[in-house]
């Protein structure tokens, strides 16, 4: 039984789907009744709507993902599968966007110790996963078959969230390209990022280098140096305020 879903039965967060009920049947199978999210996965939504969204809308979406994550972390869980496809977006009658983080299949209590995923594991294929989970991806061609372990920490979700943010700001292709580069070039963390910064600036979406540089800590290979969901909310809310002020009629 996924205890995070049980915890969400009694907790309300507008950016997580709600557990409406759960039970166990005669065969000892668990059944969970979830709130229906009347929307689309974020990747599908963006593929149709990206050109209609402004930077402020994109930041609003990213901040709502973080509100959901913050709640999961406050419940002492880690989502472990943060990606665009596990965020859904509903649009209300006023064309407001409402994000819900879904899919807690892989969620784990914080501080659990797990065996690292091997590169040939189905789950380890994701380029958006942090190096502590899949250390083998960070060295060319060398598989770690050892019993290496990692501790489940919120910083895992933060690393994955960073690529959601990059996908929102500069498109899935650029985000994936840079992420792959970062995996190959683990010893050279600051260098690969410089190229990414300039492609972001060229995209015209983001010009505040200081903001980008504080965000980049989210993918630091040392998990302890990554910001918390709260820290990122603070940065992105300030960023959004600046963007909104710049677009206010004089
Ligand atoms: N509560 C829900 N309301 C509406 N659609 C949902 C809900 N839960 C899942 N879905 C749809 O089903 C898809 C797969 O669900 P998910 O929980 O992510 O399972 P999986 O582990 O297969 O990825 C989602 O991308 C979404 O389109
Ligand atoms: Mg899913």
CA separation for the pair 1, 72 (Å, rounded): 16
- Mean pLDDT is lowest, of 74-78, 80-84, 246-250, for 246-250
Higher pLDDT among residues 222 and 64, named by residue: 64
Contacts of 237 (CB under 8 A, 6+ apart): 63
192 inside domain: yes
Q: Using a 6 Å cutoff on CB, does residue 105 contact ligand 1?
A: yes
1 inside domain: no
For the ranges 22-31, 113-122, 144-153, the maximum mean pLDDT occurs at 22-31
Helices (H) then strands (E): counts for the chain: 8, 9
Residue 141's domain comprises 42-246
The residue whose CA has the least distance to atom 6 of ligand 1 is: 37
Q: What is the CATH number of the domain that holds 72?
A: 1.10.510.10
CA distance readout (Å), 39 to 17, 88, 90, 197: 12, 6, 4, 32
18 inside domain: no
CA of 87 to the centre of ligand 1 (A): 9
Counting from 1 in the atom list of ligand 1, the atom nearest the Cα of 36 is 3
> What is the reported pLDDT for 250?
59
- Would you place residue 239 in the very low, low, confident or very high pLDDT band (cuts 50, 70, 90)? confident
CA of 36 to the centre of ligand 2 (A): 15
- Would you place residue 172 in the very low, low, confident or very high pLDDT band (cuts 50, 70, 90)? confident
2 inside domain: no
56 inside domain: yes
CA of 85 to the centre of ligand 2 (A): 6
13 inside domain: no
55-74 and 154-170 helices, crossing angle to 10°: 170
Q: Counting beta carbons within 10 angstroms of the beta carbon of residue 64, is it exposed (0 to 12), middle (13 to 18) or buried (19 or more)?
A: buried
29 inside domain: no
Q: What are phi and psi of 54, to 5 degrees?
A: -95, 165
Number of independent structural domains in the chain: 1
Mean pLDDT within 132-140: 65
CA separation for the pair 9, 129 (Å, rounded): 28
215 inside domain: yes
């Amino acid at each position: 039984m996924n205890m995070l879903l049980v915890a969400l039965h009694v907790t309300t967060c507008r950016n997580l789907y709600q557990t409406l009920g759960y039970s166990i049947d005669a065969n000892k199978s668990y059944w969970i009744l979830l709130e229906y999210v009347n929307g689309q996965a974020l990747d599908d939504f963006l593929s149709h709507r990206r050109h209609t969204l402004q930077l402020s809308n994109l930041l609003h979406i990213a901040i709502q993902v973080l509100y959901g994550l913050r709640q999961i972390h406050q419940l002492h869980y880690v989502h472990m599968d943060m990606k665009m496809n596990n965020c859904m977006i509903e649009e209300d009658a006023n064309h407001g966007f409402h994000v819900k983080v879904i899919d807690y299949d892989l969620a784990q209590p914080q501080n659990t110790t797990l065996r690292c995923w091997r590169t040939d594991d189905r789950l380890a294929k994701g380029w958006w996963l942090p190096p502590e989970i899949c250390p083998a991806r960070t060295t060319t061609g060398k598989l770690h078959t050892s019993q290496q372990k990692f501790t489940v920490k919120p910083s895992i979700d933060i690393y994955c969230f960073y690529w959601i943010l990059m996908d929102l700001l500069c498109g899935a292709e650029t985000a994936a390209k840079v992420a792959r580069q970062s995996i190959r070039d683990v010893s050279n963390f600051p260098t690969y990022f410089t190229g990414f910064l300039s492609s972001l600036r060229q995209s015209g979406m983001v010009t505040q280098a200081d903001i980008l540089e504080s965000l980049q800590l989210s993918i630091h290979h040392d998990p302890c140096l990554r910001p918390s969901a709260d820290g990122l909310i603070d940065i992105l809310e300030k960023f959004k305020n600046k963007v909104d002020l710049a677009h206010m009629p004089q």
